[in-house]
């Protein structure tokens, strides 16, 4: 029975990752009255809106009991995060022990593709990369040390350029590379429920992406669009071959030179 519950927790975790939802974001969205506690009915209503009502109807009661460590009929954020973290960490350790390093054929002429994530969103980033692994194996990748470690452990994927974690200067290092035209695109997995200094660094990265016209994505829908664009045009930065695919009034436009 515990193993079956662990599998259900992992499946729930995968459903959330596929929608770019961290446990903290899920909890905040389910907690309608903002009292810091979520009942089974609140959780069920939120998951119905999320589109997983049928799955939750089958497994929800057992899962909620697993989350409700205190047995008082409601869960708080710590209970949800602790229950999910234990199971996911255990599964990741098993997975890491049998994940070989991937063989990559990288286009060394291409600029870097940045993979940036808040700590709670790293699992979502890994899930997205795994879904599109052939592409990410073929382009030079940039990430913080924490994100690079998560990709290596889960997928055996080695990152080409690593910077220190954001709070220790990693965000500034990425910002500098944007200014130096070394980044072709950025996938930014940010937690919209997170505020403060952790969001400030990512905000500066996004601002500079806008300044230098570097395409970026911050949610699942825009990530898919960016991925399809990079898949078609590549990360070399040379869009001249794609000019015919743009409307005539746009294909002749040029960005002002950088100063």
Position 104 in a domain: no
Does 17 fall in a domain? yes
Residue of 31, 68, 76, 171 marked active site: 171
Clarify whether residues 124 and 28 are in a common domain: no
Catalytic residue status for 76: no
Q: What is the pTM of this model?
A: 0.67
Q: Give Cβ neighbours of residue 186 (< 8 Å, ≥ 6 apart).
A: 113, 114, 116, 174, 205, 206, 209, 214, 215, 216, 217
C-alpha–C-alpha distance, residues 238 and 232, integer Å:
12
Instruction: Give the pLDDT mean for 72-88.
Output: 86
143-185 pLDDT, tens digit per residue, is: 999 999 989 888 889 999 999 887 788 889 999 999 999 999 9
Which has the higher per-residue pLDDT, 213 or 88? 213
Q: Are residues 204 and 145 in the same domain?
A: yes
pLDDT at 153: 85
Q: Which residue has the higher pLDDT, 256 or 111?
A: 111
User: Residue 186's domain spans which residues?
Assistant: 112-237
Specify whether 157 is located in the same domain as 233.
Answer: yes
Averaged confidence pLDDT in the chain: 80
DSSP 173-218: HHHHHHHTT-EEEEEEE--TT--THHHHHHHHHHHHHHHTT--EE-
- Regarding whether 83 and 144 lie in a shared domain, the answer is no
Contacts of 211 (CB under 8 A, 6+ apart): 178
pLDDT by residue (tens digit) across 157-168? 999 999 988 778
């Amino acid at each position: 029975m515990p193993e079956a519950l662990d599998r259900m927790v992992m499946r729930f975790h995968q459903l959330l990752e596929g929608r770019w939802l961290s446990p903290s974001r899920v909890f905040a969205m389910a907690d309608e009255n903002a009292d810091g506690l979520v009942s089974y009915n609140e959780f069920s209503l939120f998951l119905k809106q999320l589109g997983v009502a049928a799955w939750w109807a089958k497994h929800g009661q057992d899962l909620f009991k697993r989350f409700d460590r205190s047995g008082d009929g409601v869960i708080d954020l710590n209970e949800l995060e602790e229950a999910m973290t234990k199971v996911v960490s255990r599964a990741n350790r098993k997975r890491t022990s049998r994940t070989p390093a991937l063989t990559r054929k990288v286009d060394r002429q291409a600029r870097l593709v940045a993979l940036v994530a808040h700590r709670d969103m790293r699992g979502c980033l890994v899930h997205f990369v795994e879904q599109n692994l052939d592409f990410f194996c073929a382009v030079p990748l940039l990430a913080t040390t924490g994100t690079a470690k998560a990709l290596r452990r889960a997928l055996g994927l080695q990152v080409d350029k690593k910077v220190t974690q954001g709070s220790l200067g990693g965000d500034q290092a990425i910002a500098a590379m944007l200014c130096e035209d070394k980044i072709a695109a950025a996938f930014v997995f940010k937690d919209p429920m997170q505020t403060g200094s952790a969001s400030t660094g990512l905000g500066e990265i996004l601002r500079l992406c806008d300044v230098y016209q570097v395409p970026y994505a911050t949610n699942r829908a825009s990530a898919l669009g960016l991925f399809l664009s990079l898949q078609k045009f590549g990360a070399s930065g040379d869009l001249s071959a794609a000019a015919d695919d743009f409307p005539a009034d746009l294909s002749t436009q040029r960005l002002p030179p950088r100063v």
